[in-house]
Structure 1
Amino acid sequence: DEVVDLVDYKTGFPWPVAPSGEGASMELLNPDLDNSLGSSWKASAPQVSLNEATLLGYGDNSWKWRPGDSEASDPISSWRFEEFELDESWSSNVQSPVGYGRVNGVTINTAFDDMRGNYTSVFLRNEFEVAPGEIPSVIDLHYVADDGFVLWINGQEVERLNFEGEPSFGDRASGSRDEGKEYTKSIKNPGAFLVEGKNTVSVQLFNSSLSNSDLGFDLEIIRPKLEEAVYTPSPGSRNTAFSSNAPPNIRKVRHEPVEPSSNDAVIISAKVTDPQGVKSVTLEYCVIGPGSFVPAKLPHPVPNIPVNNPQQDNPDYEKGWVSVPMIKNGNQGEFASGEDMYSALVPPNDNRSLVRYRITIEDTEGARVRAPFIDDESLNFAYFVYDGIPNYEGQAGSSMESLPVYHLITRQSDYADCYAYNGGKQISQGTQARFYYNWQGAMVYDGVVYDNIKYRLRGANGRYHNRGKRSMRFRFNAGSYFQARDHNGKKYQKKRRTLTTGKGFDNRGTLTYGLNEAVSMFLFNKIGVPGPRTHWVHWRVIDNEEESPDKWRGDFHGFNFIIETYDVRFMESHGLEKGNLYKLINQTSDWRQQQRYQAAFAPNNGRDHSTIENQLDGRDSPEFIRAHVNVHKWNRWHALAEAIRHYDFWPSANKNMVYYFEPDYLPANNYNGKLWILPWDTDASWGPTWNSGHDVVYNALFSAGGGGADGNSTPELWPEYFNEVRELRDLLWQEDQINPIIDAFAAQLEPLEKADSARWKGAPADSGTYSGIGGAGASSIASLVRDMKRFAFSGGSWPGGSVGNGGRAAHLDTLQRSYGEGGKVPRKPTITFIGDEGFKSNGLVFKSSGFSDPQGASTFESIQWRLAEITPVNNDGVQLLPIFGLGAEWKFLDDGSDQGDAWRSADYDDSSWLVGFAPLGYADNQVVTTIDFGGESSDKHMTTYFRKRVAIDNLEEMGTIVLGLQRDDGAVIYVNGNEVGRSQMPEGKIGFDTRAS
């Protein structure tokens, strides 16, 4: 195939946002435009919005049905299509709901009185009309069902519940949970199966057993009124976004300084071009003073949030904007200079102000557009005016920046309603309202404003415990995902769609600051079980005009604990193959609500999830368990869960863990893939706990307790499990390993501990307080550290159960013996080094003592060597100390400017440069960070500048620095202003316009 064109696309301004994953395609406005410019493209136009209409209602009296005592047609799928002719076995004009017996919340209108004991399925058909020209872009299915069903429209399956595989008349539902619950499913682009005129609905309804006491079903199909545009592709036809005269192109929108103080005027600049000529460039800006945040959408009243109703636009959002013209080539600052650059000056504003801005551009023929573009939910650009962290309760503000500083700007009433110290505002458990992002704000971090984001609380049983901090979740807008840094200040490789916080105490009321969770997740990752990466931040909330009216009600909110969210970015950042991902949720077993990623070749009907939930148990064979579970990964996960006493689950609990299905699709697992259990919600660990730690896989291996347990076991798989327990104990769960890890994480908290205590300990109830929260952490972080070490290696008493002498180390030692496996373990061998003196890397030779086993010498199977990391040396015995490697973070300047020689020096100010991970470049699928080549395909920047600072503490010990380089086309390397190497470059002086050789 011939490549006609190639575009480096990225999500976010100046590129359109809507085509970033689903729905819209990205379309060129006009084929004559430069398609390397993001603003030459637009999302395909939305379909026309229609008013809400009921296509098929609850209680409809036009249903037809027949009993499932035989197939309804031959072939068995024929009855699902419109042209199928019904015979005398079908009954007509029956009214839903249909079924028999008593189904919670459902009043049966048509009863199948002879079904119980005679047949397990029922065939149903109905019809609805779609008017010409009114095929919708979305339909909503609302239904109640007991027990399971499969639903087709015009012969295409669109939904199923509690059923697996290809349906046959004698089949049964795979489960019967959540009886009487109303489900909702939105289906985008139903034009793939809907037709103008008559459409046929076919349903095969299943009971879970022949003797089941009830059955019920009703269905409603709604065409919703769409308040927001729904974008759909336009393959095979002229682009829906086509324009004979497209508006000007805009890019390189920036403000300078990036982080202004209240003394700084701010220059806002943009590059604007147009083939017909640019008529005008207009800046609009709006100053939001502290304590006066204006959300773009108004929240619903709590606690009864109508989740199916869209939020209303806030009329105040469009008030207070000031318009000023932007001047071409005004030379008002570094970013504003250059060809086709337009700029305007915004005067200084008060400390803690949020300044929103947007830019309208128009060409000489009247085509205009406003940036950000219409499909960008951020709605505006923004910057934050800040004079720095003030002193707090005797602690200097400069000393309170050891942790990253996050600002949330929001309305005081919204934050209070979300936190809900007022019990009348608390949202009931088990409702969809708990998952609704009801409130808006702006997040500020690292000089970036993420405006018009949404937030809510998270959690189930402990969501509203006490009056302390709350666990929250923030949703960022497409094109403006959040760039966080780890505790070492290094940017995470993947930006985050959601930011998840933890309140720092468990449901036993024990103050932990999240220290136990941070250590646990670090250990899970260390043993090869991917878990969320965590870090702490200094959390500030601007919802009041005064920065600090008193020590409790000001901006400072102390620690906040950040936990990586499970989604596709989690899999990418942890190097996992793309497989189905489900985060289990308390109060529901519905796979739809639990799913966090749908893999391309994985089951798309929750079959993998329901197989584990409904079929995996202690009656299964070892072969069945191995086919459906990555037993090795589960062994490691549960071994560490035993060590830290992460126990708050049981076989049917559906909470506090994540299902990841490795894409190992085999006939033996019905092409479901293999289950890994990944860690989540380890707050009740390292002391306080709940339950016994018996999950669904544990129930398949051992005799388990709790709901869903069956009392059976599979001893054939025990040796592998106890091998992992023993390995964890011998290599990791040792005082010289665990204690320094606890100390290192605690050290991150200590600089801010005094300030956090001043804010929360003994605070008035209305401001939020640690009152009622206890445990060792309530005394001090040092006490918490001692408590965790005592739990691990000494023992003691905690809520939920005591730990015997020797702590969890002794528990791991005795675990194997308690199952009769201890006497089967070979005696520990002795390893001796017999290689060359000096431990040279090419001379490492070890010898093991002979095999010895209580069961006799004939039991030897194999030996496995484990090697720990050492400092590398070269062949001359010289130590090689890594400074930084491939994939490192770099600062870069990609505006094509002439920077002369000054940029090479060590003290050059590169604070305004962009930051990204290597490889950096463009037009290459290996690139991690895309750089700007100037936007003109025929006139790309000749030079891009890259800088990186590294700290070297032991320079006197270094004799040589080894440099490795990947480049295309050429590069020159400088260290502290001195050239140390060049590749594919000509000899002589290098300038910004020098070409590679």
Structure 2
Amino acid sequence: MSAHRSSTQSLPMNRHWFVVPPLGGPGAPDRLKPGLHAGRGSWALCMVPRSKELPLNLTVGRACPQRAESDVFQARRAARVDGLALPGSWAECGSERHRTLPMNSVGTDGLPKPRHESPQKELSPREMRTTPSLTLLRGRKCNFRDAVERVLTRSWAACLLLLGGAYFLILLPVSAAPKGPDVKHAPQQPKSNEPVRITADFKSQPKPKQLELQYQIVDPGKYIAFNDPVFKAQWTSARMNDSGENGDSAAGDGVFTVELPSTIQKHRRLVRYRIASPDEKKVVAPEADDEQTNFAYFVYDGVPSWRGAINPRSSDAKLREAVTYPGQILQRVPVYHFLSHKASVENATWNERGGFGSGSRHEYLYTGTMVYDGAVYDHVKFRARGGVWRHAMGKNMWKFNFLGGHRFRARDNYGIPYDAKWDKLNLGACIQQGDFGMRGEQGMFEAVGYRLFNLAGTEGPRTHWVQLRIITQAEESPADQYAGDFWGLYLATENVDEHFVKEHDLPAGNVYKIEGYQGKLASNGNPAVANGSDVNEFLRASMQRQQPDAWWLQNVDLARYYNYRAIVECIHHYDIDAGKNYFYYLNPATRKWIVIPWDVDLTWGDHMHGGGYDPFFRTGLLSRSPFKQQYQDRLAEIRDLLFNPEQLNLLIDEHAAMISDPTGLLSIVEADRAKWDFHPVLASSRVMPSKAGHGKFYFGEPRSTFRSMVQYMKTYAAKRMTWIDRRLLSDFQPPSPPKIAGAGPGQFRIESNPEDSGSSVCRWRLAEVTDPESPSFNPRQPWKHEITALWEKELKSDQAAEAPANLLKPGHAYRVRARWQDASGRWSRWSAPVQFTAP
């Protein structure tokens, strides 16, 4: 302990500090026992560095506290992990940028468990106070003592451990019991004239003598923002009871109940509420440090019909004919409700414009309430999003920023929740820039483009379509089709940040958005530098033409770059040569950089903007051996398995069916066109005429339909396939592919391979594919695409391959292919497929 005496002298011992020597040092205990009992079954301890001036390694290591007994955590010894040593008076740590892992998500080796074993979810404010967790601080400079005192004020005790040379800050709840009650309302999303029961569970808390519910009614068109003076004043009180009467389930059980009568529930009404103690004259739930200061529910009776014409003022009777779109058709796409002041909405999307490059463009000046899937996300900040043409089209893009502890739980196009919640929600306008002549593709360019990147093995944003309904006025569906709640079709696009990294199963590493060949930090890894020195050095070095092969192999994930570059060529994503529209991510495990695609709207057309010269391509990397051969091999494989007419057309059809009816019946794409093709704002002073304008849907052909855009994508892709083969693969000369055939149930063999002696290696692959003509086809399930292999195996070319029976589902369609390797080590292209249906 002598080594620690000097540093413990200045520590506030009344703050629950407990000092132990480093593990493995003299007198080190096998177990770290409780230093102070602050409540039943809870304890706190802390270890301090040897010197105030000692740099700390705050590192994800193979060691962490483990629960060995009910009130004892065992610290397991581990080898030193090389992390980032950050100098500072106490430590350099990022109190605002940290990673918290619930203890039950940490394995016996101290590393996070695989997601399928223990899904890592964002902790609610209440869970943050009751879940033992390992928190790793890194990033910006701050005073260590301030950081610890900050967590102590949130009912946490801090523990700093030295494990194998790396320091860990561990946060444990001071009290085993939750600080606040568990508050719920039912039903989750009530309808008009339904009573709502609200309960506050104090079973594990000291039971208060009395409680009251304070609620606030927000009617449509009369939004109350958090910073409005009326927000603090306009609350109504109702007594809660634990008497077993008036809706309370049992007397004296610690669960207080109040029932809001059916008369309060009105269609499109937002009801906020909170729990207060009249005795203490304060709100007890939500807790004081919860960023969302109230709970809320939204009353909704369902999406109504909407009526609109393509052009109400047209001389063409067909175009001015008003069509009714039933609610059941519109709500086939998920419905996002957003409530705010009318002025706030119009200012954000049309009126207030910061100059390009101005910092004000990134400020969230307004707040509103987002409602989706029965959940209310209150006091959400929002602004317009986009680059140069942010306000140019009239139907503009949105960006929403959710509160900490209340991140957005999004679902994909099939209703499946994403693994990670979203901190920010990007909504693309599905409108296209008018002067490129592609209006009416309705976000298909981006949705299919990003899906191709992901299928090819390059992490790209997830996307899904939504119906946006904005409530700023009393009437939901007025006679004026350009007013009311219905704002049409938008494309939700995953933000590239720390949640993106988690969603795509990547290690927590630095992510930078590249703008003008400059990197802006989008997510700070753990541990990683926070001053941009890593990306600045990489940007400088990666643009030098004379870098040796070894540098590229050491610093760039070339396999992923080949995937990225292949899809760039497939969809003509060429708006990247000004050093923008992509992110760089540094994988901390491999120390290699990965390119993440972004802003892929100007694609699927040779006339779209840009020359396609990303920095790696510009150096001539892909014209050098062996990189050229490796890239061509991967590009050819993507052509064989994904970017071919059969597989790509299925992918396009899959996405088109999400927003339209394949048989030509009414759908939301027709409603969106009626809303926006001749919307007054598209010909107003609020837009740029060349980018906006009336009558530009479907190549400007008034009687054309969305199906023409779908067919355009297929036709363009076919031309692009020919271009790739002639321009990028013309000198690619791999061995001829083998021919394969069935050799019995589930067995396959090489039928002919004239260049093979019989002793070469053959690689087999099995993939499930969606066959829309199959009896097992379910359009409500995600489609399967051949590029995603279920099984691969290498065998001698004279050996038969057998598809593993345990991977096959009866009635499902599968494809088998093979390729072989010649004596020089070159692989052939994949054979033609053999398709079968599992019995």
The reply on whether 1:733 has 2:643 as its aligned counterpart is yes
Residue aligning to 1:280 = 210
Residue aligning to 1:88 = none
Residue aligning to 1:619 = 546
The reply on whether 1:744 has 2:662 as its aligned counterpart is no
Residue 398 of structure 1 and its aligned partner are, at CA, apart by 2.2
**SS in structure 2 opposite 1:683?**
coil
Residue aligning to 2:303 = 389
Residue aligning to 2:584 = 659
Question: Contact 1:371–1:380 (CA<8 Å) still a contact in 2?
Answer: yes
| Structure 1 residues without counterparts, runs of 5 or longer | 1-26, 45-79, 82-150, 160-184, 195-225, 298-313, 666-672, 704-712, 794-806, 873-878, 886-954, 959-997
Name the CA distance, whole Å, in 2 between partners of 1:846 and 1:241. Answer: 61
Report the residue type matching 2:329 in the other structure: S
Name the CA distance, whole Å, in 2 between partners of 1:338 and 1:844. Answer: 70
| Structure 2 residues without counterparts, runs of 5 or longer | 1-33, 47-52, 55-85, 95-137, 161-169, 308-323, 661-666, 782-808, 813-839
Seen in structure 2, the aligned counterparts of structure 1 residues 435 and 30 have a Cα distance that, compared at 3 Å, is farther
Name the CA distance, whole Å, in 2 between partners of 1:678 and 1:812. Answer: 22
Name the CA distance, whole Å, in 2 between partners of 1:880 and 1:555. Answer: 39
Residue aligning to 2:592 = 674
Residue aligning to 1:529 = 458
Residue aligning to 1:177 = none
Alignment of 1:509-528 (within 5 A): 509=436, 510-511=438-439, 512-528=441-457
Seen in structure 2, the aligned counterparts of structure 1 residues 331 and 437 have a Cα distance that, compared at 3 Å, is same
Structure number with the higher helix fraction is 2
The reply on whether 1:598 has 2:524 as its aligned counterpart is yes
Alignment of 1:651-730 (within 5 A): 653-665=578-590, 673-687=591-605, 688-702=607-621, 714-730=624-640
Question: Contact 2:513–2:521 (CA<8 Å) still a contact in 1?
Answer: yes
Alignment of 1:398-409 (within 5 A): 398-409=328-339
Seen in structure 2, the aligned counterparts of structure 1 residues 663 and 552 have a Cα distance that, compared at 3 Å, is same
Residue aligning to 2:738 = 830
Residue aligning to 2:38 = 31
Name the CA distance, whole Å, in 1 between partners of 2:203 and 2:36. Answer: 15
**SS in structure 2 opposite 1:490?**
coil
Residue 792 of structure 1 and its aligned partner are, at CA, apart by 0.8
Give the structure-2-normalised TM-score.
Answer: 0.66
Name the CA distance, whole Å, in 1 between partners of 2:334 and 2:361. Answer: 29
Residue aligning to 1:476 = 402
Residue 236 of structure 1 and its aligned partner are, at CA, apart by 6.9
Name the CA distance, whole Å, in 2 between partners of 1:957 and 1:331. Answer: 56
Alignment of 1:352-367 (within 5 A): 352-361=268-277
Question: Contact 1:283–1:325 (CA<8 Å) still a contact in 2?
Answer: yes
Residue aligning to 2:259 = 345
1:754-803 deviation digits (Å, cap 9, x = unpaired): 2212211212228999635736366432111111112111xxxxxxxxxx
**SS in structure 2 opposite 1:867?**
strand
Report the residue type matching 1:533 in the other structure: R
Residue aligning to 1:904 = none
**SS in structure 2 opposite 1:718?**
helix
Residue aligning to 1:118 = none
Residue aligning to 2:766 = 868
**SS in structure 2 opposite 1:464?**
coil
2:506 to 573, 576, 591: 576
Seen in structure 2, the aligned counterparts of structure 1 residues 411 and 32 have a Cα distance that, compared at 3 Å, is same
The reply on whether 1:851 has 2:755 as its aligned counterpart is yes
1:264 to 184, 189, 194: 194
Question: Contact 1:391–1:397 (CA<8 Å) still a contact in 2?
Answer: yes
Residue aligning to 1:758 = 674
Name the CA distance, whole Å, in 1 between partners of 2:225 and 2:237. Answer: 20
1:790 to 715, 727, 735: 715
The reply on whether 1:189 has 2:142 as its aligned counterpart is yes
Give the structure-1-normalised TM-score.
Answer: 0.56
Name the CA distance, whole Å, in 2 between partners of 1:551 and 1:280. Answer: 50
1:293-337 deviation digits (Å, cap 9, x = unpaired): 11113xxxxxxxxxxxxxxxx322112100111011445559889
Report the residue type matching 2:462 in the other structure: R
Report the residue type matching 1:647 in the other structure: Y
Residue 698 of structure 1 and its aligned partner are, at CA, apart by 1.1
Name the CA distance, whole Å, in 2 between partners of 1:732 and 1:830. Answer: 19
Seen in structure 2, the aligned counterparts of structure 1 residues 649 and 28 have a Cα distance that, compared at 3 Å, is farther
Percent of aligned pairs sharing the same letter: 29
RMSD across aligned positions (CA): 4.3
Name the CA distance, whole Å, in 2 between partners of 1:373 and 1:682. Answer: 42
1:684-741 deviation digits (Å, cap 9, x = unpaired): 00115212111111123359xxxxxxxxx63432111111222222222211111121
Seen in structure 2, the aligned counterparts of structure 1 residues 29 and 596 have a Cα distance that, compared at 3 Å, is farther
1:159-203 deviation digits (Å, cap 9, x = unpaired): 9xxxxxxxxxxxxxxxxxxxxxxxxx9956336699xxxxxxxxx
Residue 677 of structure 1 and its aligned partner are, at CA, apart by 0.9
Question: Contact 1:533–1:563 (CA<8 Å) still a contact in 2?
Answer: yes
1:328 to 211, 227, 242: 242
Seen in structure 2, the aligned counterparts of structure 1 residues 884 and 814 have a Cα distance that, compared at 3 Å, is closer
Residue 556 of structure 1 and its aligned partner are, at CA, apart by 0.4
Residue aligning to 2:693 = 771
Seen in structure 2, the aligned counterparts of structure 1 residues 337 and 410 have a Cα distance that, compared at 3 Å, is farther
Seen in structure 2, the aligned counterparts of structure 1 residues 193 and 570 have a Cα distance that, compared at 3 Å, is closer
**SS in structure 2 opposite 1:677?**
strand
1:470-520 deviation digits (Å, cap 9, x = unpaired): 222111111111111111112222221111111223445532321011111
Which structure's CA Rg is the greater one? 1
Seen in structure 2, the aligned counterparts of structure 1 residues 448 and 28 have a Cα distance that, compared at 3 Å, is farther
Name the CA distance, whole Å, in 2 between partners of 1:865 and 1:848. Answer: 15
Question: Contact 2:189–2:299 (CA<8 Å) still a contact in 1?
Answer: yes
Name the CA distance, whole Å, in 1 between partners of 2:738 and 2:654. Answer: 32
1:590-637 deviation digits (Å, cap 9, x = unpaired): x3xx22222224444323312221111321111111111111110111
**SS in structure 1 opposite 2:354?**
coil
Residue aligning to 1:443 = 370
Residue aligning to 1:492 = 418
Report the residue type matching 2:753 in the other structure: S
**SS in structure 1 opposite 2:766?**
coil
Question: Contact 1:505–1:683 (CA<8 Å) still a contact in 2?
Answer: no
Report the residue type matching 1:474 in the other structure: F
Question: Contact 1:269–1:335 (CA<8 Å) still a contact in 2?
Answer: no
Deviates more, 1:323-332 or 1:535-544: 323-332
Residue aligning to 2:49 = none
Name the CA distance, whole Å, in 1 between partners of 2:735 and 2:292. Answer: 63
Seen in structure 2, the aligned counterparts of structure 1 residues 776 and 370 have a Cα distance that, compared at 3 Å, is same
**SS in structure 1 opposite 2:325?**
coil
Seen in structure 2, the aligned counterparts of structure 1 residues 814 and 388 have a Cα distance that, compared at 3 Å, is same
Seen in structure 2, the aligned counterparts of structure 1 residues 374 and 229 have a Cα distance that, compared at 3 Å, is farther
Name the CA distance, whole Å, in 2 between partners of 1:552 and 1:871. Answer: 43
Name the CA distance, whole Å, in 2 between partners of 1:881 and 1:390. Answer: 31
Residue aligning to 1:896 = none
The reply on whether 1:434 has 2:332 as its aligned counterpart is no
Report the residue type matching 1:536 in the other structure: W
The reply on whether 1:781 has 2:722 as its aligned counterpart is no
Question: Contact 1:247–1:274 (CA<8 Å) still a contact in 2?
Answer: yes
Residue 429 of structure 1 and its aligned partner are, at CA, apart by 0.9
Residue aligning to 2:536 = 610
